[in-house]
Chains A and B, each alone.
Chain A
Amino acid sequence: MEILEINNVSYVYSKGTPFEHLALDNINLKIKQGETLAIIGHTGSGKSTLIQHLNGLFKAQSGTVVFQGKDIWADKKNIKNIRFKIGLCFQYPEYQLFEESVYKDIAFGPKNMGLEEDEIRQRVQRAMQYMELPERYIDRSPFDLSGGQKRKVALAGILAMEPDILVLDEPTAGLDPAAKNHLFDLIQKYKEQSGTTVVFVSHSMEDVAKLAERIVVMNDSKVVMEGKPAEVFEHAETLLKMGLSVPEITKVFMKLKKKGYSLPSVYTVEDALQSLQPLIGGMCHDS
């Protein structure tokens, strides 16, 4: 079942000036209830513009965005409520922290929803647990935390709104590999426990292969490919031409195949390990 539908959406920046720039060109996209969808595309392909259409920060100049069967712009006054249901977390969200304590910052969204103080407290605590933030942080200034912790506080601020769809713009940009994996694990765990639909933008094909159930590829303001990771990564050459890539392990297997080894196509290291195990006779153990 579709939870969000994007129909024929187009958007032009600075229309009618010499700086005019077509950012979205007739985009059609259906997001299914409960899925994890990845949007990939190189810088300037329109990904960020697209995701800001999902919660009505941008209004499509033509086309519609339909959430649970209803145009999000059907009632202009209701757009604020749409933003609580479709939680959007920007790139480098830690730059948007402003409150004097972690608690107050996470509570900003729920407070704007007009919830009771008790409910807000519960939601903040739940969000902090999801992000594995220690309880003692609750009264600390978010500006005293490390970069990775700040990011988690900012994400918790979105989770505390308990949205139906969680939209993340490059959630792990600028983090070191360990922090990156940790954050993705947390998002995955959150998704499994809450059943939230997750849409995320990423540059890292490894992360996309690991997390996404479906991938949308954007190039030159258009959706050029859509499908399961296996279906999309099959077109490795087209992806490379668009300035994108495929996971490193896929590249290795592609090279081996070229040399004449008969191997399946794989997209994650775990799958690669499994497909190699029979060849090396069980000498290789899962580490």
Chain B
Amino acid sequence: MIHDISFGQYYPASSVLHKLDARFKIIMTLVLVVGVFFCNSVCSIALAALFCITMMLLSKIPIPTFLKNLKPLIPIIILTFILNIIYVPGEHVIWSVWKFQLTTEALQTAVFIAFRIVLLVIITSFLTYTTTPTALTSAIEDLLKWLKLFKVDVHSIAMMMSIALRFIPTLIDEINKIINAQKARGADFDSGNVIHKLKALVPVLIPLFISSFRRAYELANAMECRCYNGGEGRTKLKTMQSGLKDYIALGVCLAVVSGFILLNMIKIAGVY
């Protein structure tokens, strides 16, 4: 069943990371993601890993929760690893079979890239795990304010995003309910070939579309009853406020990224 999909992935806890301003968290994530691409040596990757582990402990979210995110990426990591080993050119041959040569350079690149993918996933999951979807959308709205200069209706886009996010759990509930109701009438979703399985979805999709439209009309009416007319002159119940801690956190991130760049210059046992 699709009971276990956690969208937005917010993991409730009370930690320093949860309390940071969402806008800063988005910027910090971008800074760190770019930073990870600068990690080109054993030392800087070690620093990044150490930093991620510290953040995991600070977030008070159990570490297996982070690892769960990595699972679907294992095939991609393995594939890039293999491709790198085969295609990266190098001079120091360690081992060779027929036309294939394993070189130190290729091995190094492959390992580094695998590590970088893992680090990227963990860094981005800090953002989604510690920020509620609503905070995330209003932060995006705020960060994209400048687009208004180009006549982009940032408010409407943000409102659509928050409505979409808000309704994902509702729709998942609805889908489960409809699936169960049709199963109670003997519908079979698990056996048969692809065509049979697609056909079996009709009794779920039609009621789902109907109820989605019903919900959309109801929501539109409810919003109009409360005089919603777009972002013009609209204030927020929870205004986002940045404080000293947010600037300190951003400072730490920038320091860590400069650390990555500096550590690239240190050689250990002849390997970068």
Contacts and interface: CB of A to CB of B under 8 A. Distances in A.
A90 B186 contact: no
A94 to B, nearest CB: 9
Nearest to B13: A18
Nearest to A52: B180
Given A96-B178, A96-B181, A80 B186 contact: yes
Given A96-B178, A98-B202, A87 B207 contact: no
B78 interface: no
Given A90-B177, A97-B207, A57 B184 contact: yes
Interface in B161-196: 177-178, 180-188
B90 interface: no
B185 A90 contact: no
A263 interface: no
A109 interface: yes
A84 B186 contact: yes
Nearest to A109: B185
A164 to B, nearest CB: 14
Given A18-B11, A18-B12, A96-B207, A90 B188 contact: no
Given A18-B12, A57-B180, A90-B181, A98 B203 contact: yes
User: Which of under 10, 10 to 19, 20 to 34, or 35 or more describes the interface residues of A?
Assistant: 20 to 34
Interface residues on B, range: 20 to 34
A113 B184 contact: no
A108 B203 contact: yes
Contacts of B210: 95, 143
A37 B206 CA distance: 33
Interface string B203-238: 100110011000000000000000000000000000
B9 to A, nearest CB: 12
A161 interface: yes
A158 interface: yes
Given A95-B207, A97-B207, A98-B206, A109 B177 contact: no
B11 A108 contact: no
B189 to A, nearest CB: 11
B239 to A, nearest CB: 28
A161 B187 CA distance: 13
Given A90-B177, A96-B178, A98-B202, A83 B184 contact: yes
B61 to A, nearest CB: 10
B185 A95 contact: no
17 contacts: A18-B12, A52-B180, A57-B180, A57-B183, A83-B186, A90-B181, A90-B184, A96-B203, A96-B207, A97-B207, A98-B207, A109-B185, A112-B186, A112-B187, A143-B210, A157-B185, A161-B185
Given A90-B184, A108-B182, A113-B186, 17 more contacts: A18-B11, A52-B180, A57-B183, A80-B186, A84-B186, A87-B184, A88-B184, A89-B184, A90-B177, A96-B181, A98-B206, A108-B186, A108-B187, A108-B203, A109-B186, A158-B185, A161-B185
Query: Which 5 A-B residue pairings sit nearest by Cβ, starting from the closest?
Result: A112-B186, A98-B206, A109-B185, A88-B184, A96-B181
